[in-house]
Amino acid sequence: MSRTRSIGPAFVLSLLLTACGGNAPDTTPPEAVRGVEITATGSSIRVRWLPNYAVDLSHYLLYQGTRPDSLWTGGHRITSTWRDVYSLTIGTRYHFGITAVDEAGNESVMSEVVEVTPVNAAWETQLGWTAFQAEDYSGALYHFYLARELDPDHAPAYLGEGWSRAYVGLLNSARTSLEQAQSLGLATQDARAGLAVVLKLLGESNGAIAAADTVLTYEPAYVFTWRSSIDWRDLRLLMAQCWYRLGEPFFEQVQTQVDLLDPGNGLAPQDPGSWTVDGVLYESYAVALLMELMILETVIGG
């Protein structure tokens, strides 16, 4: 029994080329590129990859995009195993892939697609404050730390770190961070207010009073930028509490702050009949004044 062998176009082409002394065209692409890595510095990145050892390698192509399934290339023929990309948008996630092209124009399949989100100290600091506002102080501290790693002189990161540490009770390190923010030139009322709070909690009444008084001198209607529930009233209450802690010689200063916070309190040091707070008459002005401070802390406390 005889069999008929069909002759395909590729076989015919091969015969023709052989008859003419030619070779079959190269249609085999290089192997895929491997080992793609990205190093980011602010809005710039460097993409690196392992060499492709195809004997007829011509160049590489870099593909990029903000979606892994929609990458584009500018067609630049890259002959090294790295490429710098500039002017990327901070906070935007980018995806990159590499292909190898041989001298015949055959292009390999895409390498593994890697991703990167360019960030800078300002971006990480903003993420820190976002976490702070959500009362995620551990998350806030993580982002403020990253901001300092990116820029050790980025004062706003130290400010956020100081406030966050204060909220988790790390008072000494909070103080250090807030003082560092100021030493780097961040002379904001937020930094001074944070230091006033920390010094009060550390028992340093005079320092706390001085810091709070500076804030209110420059900004009488102060409101904390990152938490509006903390404002001038908290600072006046802080001053009153610290003066009370310093003792009876400073009760006049305490009363001054109380009058500003609660104008109708009616307390008078020399009038025992006025020593009434929340409907209760107390036997001494000192106790009545203390109870007034405790009520104010309940009402005002930020």
Quick: pLDDT tens for 72-123. Answer: 998 899 999 999 999 999 999 999 999 999 999 999 999 999 999 999 999 9
- The whole-angstrom separation of Cα 38 and Cα 26 is 32
Helices (H), 1-136: 9-19, 121-133
From the list 209, 147, 217, 166, the residue with the least C-alpha distance to 187 is 217
Residue 274, phi then psi, degrees to nearest 5 = -95, 0
CB-CB contact of 84 with 46 (8 Å): yes
Q: Report pLDDT digits (tens) over 256-299.
A: 999 999 999 999 999 999 999 999 999 999 999 999 999 999 99
3-state secondary structure of 295: helix
Global pTM reads 0.81
**Domain boundaries defined on the chain:** 37-116
Percent of residues in the chain assigned helix, strand, coil, to nearest 5: 45, 15, 40
Q: Report pLDDT digits (tens) over 235-253.
A: 999 999 999 999 999 999 9
Class of domain 37-116: mainly beta
Q: How far is CA 224 from CA 131, 188, 261, in A?
A: 16, 10, 18
From the list 24, 26, 20, the residue with the least C-alpha distance to 11 is 24
Buried-exposed string 257-268: b where 16+ CB fall within 10 A, e elsewhere: bbeebbeebebe
